[in-house]
Amino acid sequence: MSQETLSIAGFNVSPHHYIGGQRVASGELFDLHCPIDQSLLGRISEGTPAHVDAAILAAQAAYPAWSALTAAERKPYLDRFAAEIGKRADAFCQLESNDAGILLSRMKHGVIPRAMLNITWFAEHALSLQDRPLETEQATHIVRHDPAGVVVIITPWNSPLMLATWKLGPALAAGNTVIIKPPEWAPLTSSLLADCAHAAGLPAGVLNIVQGSGAGTGARLVSDPRLARISFTGSVPTAKWIAQAAGANLVPCSLELGGKSPFIVLEDADIDNAAATGALMYRNAGQVCLAGTRFLVHSDIRDHFVAAMRAYVEKLNIGDPRDIAVEIGPIIHPRQVERVKGFVERALADGAELLWGGKPHPFGAQYFEPTMLTNLRQDSEIVQNEVFGPVLTLQTFDSDAQAIAMANGTDYGLGGVCYGETAHATAIAEQVRTGFIWVNSFGIRDLAAPFGGIKRSGIGREGGDWSFEFFCDVKDVVLPKKPFRASFSHR
């Protein structure tokens, strides 16, 4: 049996599951290492079939009472939940920096405020969804958003806290009970979320955390017919398996699967601004699904842009993410480091030209230099497939039509960036086939707006009403405006 708590950077966190309001240990354990220096952070409880069954039973048992509450009655619980996250802000920051390598600066100024907002915003928005009337000539339609049941949320390792709360907020606000399967490589902040839920007084079984591998714990969860919904963020191969398993039970899935997003720089762009934004694509060591990783630059400004972006990249501070001044930290796991290296090596062997970077960084074993490759064919592996590391590609174009064709020339369609004179860039952006695209900007997000991709980048949308459309059973209660009498006449 592992220890009851782990102590990391002066903060305690449980390595065990959270099921039915209680910590539950497992005899099966897995090691958790720090990506910064590969030190052992602790041994984590692995979810067995018994743990999965217990979590589903606990969520089922809690569902009748939780779902029977109105959105207004659930809201105080969720507001307290968000407040508990705020009280533990320092612990969340240190835990996620240590187990996922996330920048401490990003945690403090971006992730913690967003995680709290993910809970409170959806709790508030749920109030506006109650019994929406829709008037037609024949009837009044009362459109209800009813809770669906037991929801499984599977989160990735590149932003565990933010993405867990992004799904958890609307799932709980809608009246569902939830089981989170956190990433095996970064489970600690999900465990701390359980403490927040407990302190906030969420009834036992409303939120459950079952840790473990995707192939073990995750597979057992998603194949269970007792589920009402599965929400997953991660890789395409895993999503295909989840969809197949869920399909056998007709369980609806929401799948956010990353991308290979274009970063288009038109000939009339503000080159310096575009270059500065381009350097941001290396944040989180390039482990950001919505980053623009394929730079498509007009040939007339190519040299100017490359020089400007190189200057910004050379200023990036690489090192320990727990240092508030650091801008690029480690890659999450040795397997991911090998994946990134393999992409670069194969591209160079295939004739790619290295503009900068291209090799491991001396700071540590899981660090890789910010890299830019060019002289690439549109059908080359590194242009077509997601690397998920600090590796970008640069291609040039000579016309708008060529830029659009190249932007749309992959099987992905999550996001994009387009820099240029506003009307020109907007016209291009409207023809790029993605779920969203930023014009002369990057990273602007609003919880009321839809988020999600097309093609291999996913199925479904999250945010605003779209989250509730997924996490709810939408019902139409029809009230006729005139007395109705049954008629058996044939037409």
Amino acid symbol at 54: A
**Kind and range of the H or E run holding 2:** none
Please name which of 44, 323, 84, 322 lies closest in space to residue 188, comparing C-alpha atoms: 44
- Residue 253 annotated among the catalytic residues of the structure: no
Which H or E run includes 22? strand 22-24
46, 256, 369, 462: the catalytic one is 256
| Residue carrying the six token digits 């395409």 | 236
Alpha carbon 105 to its chain centroid, in Å, reads: 19
Strands (E), 99-148: 132-135, 139-147
Contacts 24+ apart (CB under 8 A), 10-13: 10/94, 11/90, 11/91, 11/94, 11/95, 13/91, 13/95, 13/188, 13/191, 13/192, 13/195
- Taking phi first (over 0 means left), then psi (-120 to 50 degrees means alpha), and beta for anything else, what does residue 169 get? alpha
Catalytic residue among 93, 253, 289, 418: 289
Q: How far is Cα 470 from Cα 458, in angstroms, rounded to an integer?
A: 14
**Burial status of residue 24 (CB atoms within 10 A of its CB: 0-12, 13-18, 19 or more):** buried
User: Are the C-beta atoms of residues 293 and 260 closer than 8 Å to each other?
Assistant: yes
**Is 289 marked active-site?**
yes
As annotated, the active-site residues are 256, 289
